[in-house]
Structure 1
Amino acid sequence: MDYLRAVLNSNKEQEASYLKRLISIGAKLNINTTKYQNELKKLNITDSKITKATQSKTIQKVKVSQQHDISSVYTKENAIIINYNRVVSKRDIDFIEERTKTDHQDIFDLRGVFENAYETKLRMDGVDKIVIVQKDKNTVRIILKHEYNLKTIYIINNNQIIIKVLNLHLKEKLSTSLTNNYFNQKKKIIVIDPGHGGKDSGAVGPKKRYEKVAVFKVSKYLYEDLKKRGYTVYLTRKSDKFIQLKNRTHFANVKNADIFISIHVNAVPKNKAHKVKGIETFFLSPARSERAKRVAKLENKSDMDEMNYNSQMTFLTILNQSKITASNKLAIDIQQNLLYKTRQKYSGIVDGGVREGPFWVLVGAQMPAILVELGYISHPSESRRLYNRHYQKLLAEGLANGIDAYFSKNF
């Protein structure tokens, strides 16, 4: 968390300090720290404490892991567990979906070597067939084949990748605890907040494309998707209506929501419109970085114009600290799944990252709360996409998958 804050606040000294600590601890534990060393080099700060002996240990560990860095693969209830003998990241997994004449296929390519791939047999109740092969010397491929399209997500956890199937037809032989957990998850209450509305159009893009219109369309698609998945879902506005920001989280509190998601699109001045694009996800904090302040000023405008300086400073300090960590986790899952889903069909989707921001609409929420910027309506091509029905549905599905991922890991 401290390292993340340092990165988000562009504090290179703190970032370098935490990187050095990670490298030092990694060397003692014989863990590969190459990626941290590379990040440190980018900061143009050398670490005198990394001795030649330490570096040789790291290199030796890499050589060992390359021989067979996947130690085991097995199924457990609705999940496939892949254990590595090294730390894994998003770069270690790729995913594609294919439709054949006979079935749907979810294909996962895992970077690594699993010497027992040929002998390993994977089975899961509710999935017709699971295939595992060593596709090439650097890639293990896992294919889930089924008559209908499975809803799959993957979770990265230190030295483990977990592939979960969310829409299995549960069998009676599954444990009572698993069944109860599944239905408890689907009883979650979600409040979706389509940004702006009515007299507040939000940002305006080329050809008079309005933020309030784009985000409302995506919010409705998300509402329908989540309802199909079994969640209880509410919209803060069901039409082109203006609602004060403070009333949006009040609505979520009254509904006793488990999470609150405010949906927006971003914008920059015309002189930068062709250069700036991408998806960003924010969670509440008193961060004062220039980028966070710029975005927050745009989204806070309808209420902040009515507040004096002292009120604004009070707003920045009234934070529900116990919810910040949960909101951060939700933001990470949402951002990851938005990028993953949109990149399946569109190129050039920019990762704007997960960031902290002082957003008035999130203040007062008694549950994990985030604000998503689905793109820049000021950017010519991104603006067209944000008004495209197919792209809006992809965004909604990415948001829904992120919500599934968050609840599967945290409840």
Structure 2
Amino acid sequence: MSVPRKFGIRILLLILSIFILSSTAAAQNTIYFNSKDITSEIETVSREGELLIKARDLAELLDADLTWRPALKSLEMKSQNVTIKIMANSRYIQIGNDALKTRAGLQLVDNQAYIPLAKSIEAFGYLLEYQRDNEELYIFQPETTINNVSWQEDGNQLQIKMDEITPYRILHSEDGREITIEIDKAVIDQEFSDNISNNNYYLRVVNVPDRALLRLIIKSRTPIPFQIDGGVYEYEDSLVLSFLPQLKDIRIDKNNILKVEATGEIPDAKTKYISESKKMIIDIPSVVIGNFDLDIENHPLIKDIKVTQHDLDPVILRIEATMVNGDIFKPLKREKNSLLAFKPGQRSEITNLDYAAGSFSFDSSSALNPELFLLETPPRLVMNLYHVNRGAGILDKIEVNNSLIKNLRTARFDEQTVRIVADLKELTGYDWVEEEKNGIYHYTVNLKNKFAEIRTEDNDKYQYLDILMDSRAEYEVKKFNYPHRIVVDFKNTLNNLDEFKTIEKTSLIKDIRSSNYQLEGEEVTRLVFELNDYYSHRVETYQDKHGIKIALAKDYLNKQMKEDREIESHLIVVDAGHGGFDPGAIGMTGLEEKVSNLAIAREIASQLADKDQTVLLTRNSDRFHSLQQRVKFANARNADLFVSIHANSFNNPQTGGVETYYNQHENNQNRFLAEKIHDKLGRGLGIYDRGIKESNFYVIKYTKMPSALIEVAFVSNPGEEKMLQSSKFQKKAASLITEGILDYLEENGGK
């Protein structure tokens, strides 16, 4: 049967219209405004690849005045001090005296005006962020305003002043000529002025609309002397970027004092002498070359000076001075922090060479910078001491004959050098330690320890890890998560595990491995015991501290171990975040973060007190205390631990979970405390485990004791908001945090 032509055309048009409508509907984004899903409350369409919103819906959303001029087919929208104008058949939005180009402009759909959502709402000062492949659009007000960017301290620091510090990232280009500071949910103050651009530096401000962040891009004609690690810190409501000092001047004054000066503070340098080539090498960390003056021409003591950027990771400046007669320059006491000074030295006198378990030592009348190296055949450790005389107690030979060393020998190697030789049973590592007291320098050479035996044991109560060393062990045992593992870090230890046969595993021990890495500038040998499961553990020593015994509790024993443990009393400060006029984050049903924070903090204090711990709360009522006051409170009382309680928040109400933060400053116990607490929360709280993270939160950055900050749950997540309101959940969270604190104390100062 044939279909009439007109009827077929109508069917085709109907199909096309359905396709167009379905395409428009498919383009609909899920839209959140200040964390609330408003998708069903507004009407949007997609035109020319741009999302448009009905003008009246946007006006209601922003509480703005809307004026429509039918004759001109134009509209005007005004909210607070911002007015935008847009006309049909124009792609431009007028904002005051400025014009912003869009893709689609104003579109009339069913006699209703639709305008570009992103461009319009940005004009009113809101920020946008697309997530999940652009399917979700979040609209929110800025959380901070950048007020000023300026140079500080003679151009060695850059200060970014803002209302409040929000999450940020620092990016450094490969060629070192560009630094990008990304600041989340930030806008530029209307009165902001560029106070840093000069002949060498140029500042560019970029708003990244679809990621709700601001970029401050600093470009330079030359590499910028900046290190991301340690080069940025927070001061009150400012970010401060510390640029590395540059070498300014090398000179020798009329008193033959060699002076090295930089544009800023110079860390202590390491110096060494190479007698064969009559060279002194000065390695200065965290200083770059720059443009410097060098004035040593025709000097009777120094023949030549060569300056190089010896390393960039970490940054090390090397000054290599070739002496005319092999004289040695010794460091003088610092007069100012930007200056190093060296004086031609008198011969030092070394005395009292002695041997103790695993080390040998001697005294010197002044500071020394020896050359140490190993020789293989026969195995021996050689130390060259320059500009030195042998004094009392420096024998030609000392018989030792133990497991590490046969004997010590001393002799004058040449006119400038005294040599100390340790004849070894076999090649091993070593380190060099200097201690100064009352003008006398005491030097110790520690020969590295070795593993003698590693074995596992198993009985009905425990599984054991037994680690036996050649000499007394210097170690630290840590518990890590994800996956569960026991880690033992050994200082001054040779990694000789390849000499051992396969170590027998147990039902708890899944894998055993080792590695070497740098910890606070010192090489550490690490043993990792990956576990199938973990309940708790204890550490004991045996065989005069040559051995370490780690007892891993089995499941049924865990409860008994916890009940039986006795821990000495410590002073613990528990901090309930926010308070008073600062509610913190607010949930969809109105729960204020400060309320649940205080409830959980009080419960932790009560439970710790039941365990004979002394607990202080930074606030025990609905009062406001600044971050600085909370830190001063803990520091002034010399607390043993500091734990801060918070609830998290995010624009997406589906985001949830628990996470624990630490700050890795000079207190290296912070991560260990965070791990102990989070191990309990992650496994026992019953919500998504977001893990342990490092952060610069003020209260954990500036407290002097081990500290951790816990985001117990998300108040912005409706389900978790309900949990946070529940006394049962509050007590459960407090109990898990208390258990983590007690676990930490048991292994660090417990009884």
Q: In the alignment, what sits opposite 1:225?
A: 607
> What is the distance in 2 between the residues matched to 1:335 and 1:405?
11
Counterpart selection for 1:162 from 536, 547, 552: 552
Matched letter for residue 330 of structure 1: L
Q: In the alignment, what sits opposite 1:284?
A: 663
**TM-superposition CA deviations, 1:285-333 (whole Å, max 9, x none):** 5xxxxxxxxxxxxxxxxxxxxxxxxxxxxxxxxxxx321x211110111
> What is the distance in 1 between the residues matched to 2:577 and 2:484?
35
> What is the distance in 2 between the residues matched to 1:334 and 1:265?
16
> What is the distance in 2 between the residues matched to 1:392 and 1:84?
40
Matched letter for residue 403 of structure 1: I
Matches within 5 A, 1:287-306: none
8 Å Cα contact 2:660/2:678 also seen in 1: yes
Stretches of structure 2 lacking an aligned partner (at least 5 in a row): 1-168, 172-454, 468-478, 486-505, 511-530, 541-547
> What is the distance in 1 between the residues matched to 2:625 and 2:617?
12
Matches within 5 A, 1:305-384: 321-323=665-667, 325-342=668-685, 346=686, 349-384=687-722
Matches within 5 A, 1:10-409: 71-74=456-459, 80-83=462-465, 111=508, 153-154=536-537, 162-163=552-553, 165-168=561-564, 182=566, 185-269=567-651, 272-274=652-654, 276-284=655-663, 321-323=665-667, 325-342=668-685, 346=686, 349-409=687-747
8 Å Cα contact 2:659/2:710 also seen in 1: yes
Q: SS at 1:367's partner residue?
A: coil
Q: SS at 1:381's partner residue?
A: helix
Stretches of structure 1 lacking an aligned partner (at least 5 in a row): 1-7, 11-69, 94-108, 114-138, 143-151, 170-181, 286-320
> What is the distance in 2 between the residues matched to 1:364 and 1:339?
26
> What is the distance in 1 between the residues matched to 2:563 and 2:625?
36
> What is the distance in 1 between the residues matched to 2:586 and 2:657?
16
8 Å Cα contact 1:89/1:156 also seen in 2: no
8 Å Cα contact 2:463/2:508 also seen in 1: no
CA RMSD of aligned residues (A): 3.9
8 Å Cα contact 1:375/1:382 also seen in 2: yes
Q: CA deviation at 1:410?
A: 2.1
Q: CA deviation at 1:385?
A: 0.8
> What is the distance in 2 between the residues matched to 1:88 and 1:223?
26
Go from structure 1 to structure 2 and tell me whether the alpha carbon gap of 1:221 and 1:89 turns closer, same or farther (over 3 Å shift): closer
Q: CA deviation at 1:80?
A: 3.7
Higher relative contact order (CA 8 A, sep 6+): 1
Matched letter for residue 727 of structure 2: R
**TM-superposition CA deviations, 1:51-75 (whole Å, max 9, x none):** xxxxxxxxxxxxxxxxxxx942358
Q: CA deviation at 1:404?
A: 1.0
Q: For the pair shown, which has the larger CA radius of gyration, 1 or 2?
A: 2
8 Å Cα contact 1:198/1:240 also seen in 2: yes
Q: CA deviation at 1:407?
A: 1.3
Go from structure 1 to structure 2 and tell me whether the alpha carbon gap of 1:153 and 1:9 turns closer, same or farther (over 3 Å shift): farther
TM-score, length-scaled by structure 2: 0.28
Q: CA deviation at 1:140?
A: 11
TM-score, length-scaled by structure 1: 0.50
> What is the distance in 1 between the residues matched to 2:644 and 2:581?
18
Go from structure 1 to structure 2 and tell me whether the alpha carbon gap of 1:337 and 1:9 turns closer, same or farther (over 3 Å shift): farther
8 Å Cα contact 2:585/2:592 also seen in 1: yes
Q: How many residue pairs end up in the alignment? A: 236
Matched letter for residue 162 of structure 1: L
Go from structure 1 to structure 2 and tell me whether the alpha carbon gap of 1:328 and 1:88 turns closer, same or farther (over 3 Å shift): closer
> What is the distance in 2 between the residues matched to 1:239 and 1:401?
24
Matched letter for residue 168 of structure 1: D
Q: SS at 1:353's partner residue?
A: strand
Q: SS at 2:713's partner residue?
A: strand
Q: SS at 1:206's partner residue?
A: coil
**TM-superposition CA deviations, 1:191-229 (whole Å, max 9, x none):** 000000000000001210110001111111111100001
> What is the distance in 1 between the residues matched to 2:736 and 2:699?
22
> What is the distance in 2 between the residues matched to 1:88 and 1:250?
30
> What is the distance in 2 between the residues matched to 1:91 and 1:200?
38
> What is the distance in 1 between the residues matched to 2:712 and 2:577?
11
**TM-superposition CA deviations, 1:360-397 (whole Å, max 9, x none):** 22243110111111011101111111111111111001
Go from structure 1 to structure 2 and tell me whether the alpha carbon gap of 1:89 and 1:9 turns closer, same or farther (over 3 Å shift): farther
> What is the distance in 2 between the residues matched to 1:88 and 1:244?
33
Q: SS at 2:666's partner residue?
A: helix
8 Å Cα contact 1:222/1:399 also seen in 2: yes
> What is the distance in 2 between the residues matched to 1:279 and 1:140?
23
Percent of aligned pairs sharing the same letter: 27
Matched letter for residue 280 of structure 1: E
8 Å Cα contact 2:600/2:734 also seen in 1: yes
Go from structure 1 to structure 2 and tell me whether the alpha carbon gap of 1:73 and 1:234 turns closer, same or farther (over 3 Å shift): same
Go from structure 1 to structure 2 and tell me whether the alpha carbon gap of 1:398 and 1:199 turns closer, same or farther (over 3 Å shift): same
Go from structure 1 to structure 2 and tell me whether the alpha carbon gap of 1:328 and 1:112 turns closer, same or farther (over 3 Å shift): closer
Q: SS at 2:694's partner residue?
A: strand
> What is the distance in 2 between the residues matched to 1:390 and 1:215?
14
> What is the distance in 1 between the residues matched to 2:617 and 2:598?
10
Relative to its length, the structure with more helix (as a share) is 1
Q: CA deviation at 1:283?
A: 1.1
Go from structure 1 to structure 2 and tell me whether the alpha carbon gap of 1:88 and 1:248 turns closer, same or farther (over 3 Å shift): closer
Q: SS at 2:690's partner residue?
A: strand
Relative to its length, the structure with more strand (as a share) is 2
Q: CA deviation at 1:273?
A: 1.2
> What is the distance in 2 between the residues matched to 1:90 and 1:354?
10
Q: SS at 1:401's partner residue?
A: helix
Q: In the alignment, what sits opposite 2:23?
A: none
> What is the distance in 2 between the residues matched to 1:88 and 1:189?
25
> What is the distance in 2 between the residues matched to 1:110 and 1:197?
48
> What is the distance in 2 between the residues matched to 1:140 and 1:336?
15
**TM-superposition CA deviations, 1:130-164 (whole Å, max 9, x none):** xxxxxxxxx9999xxxxxxxxx7457999966236
Go from structure 1 to structure 2 and tell me whether the alpha carbon gap of 1:81 and 1:408 turns closer, same or farther (over 3 Å shift): farther
8 Å Cα contact 2:576/2:618 also seen in 1: yes
> What is the distance in 1 between the residues matched to 2:480 and 2:722?
36
Matched letter for residue 398 of structure 1: L
Q: SS at 1:221's partner residue?
A: helix
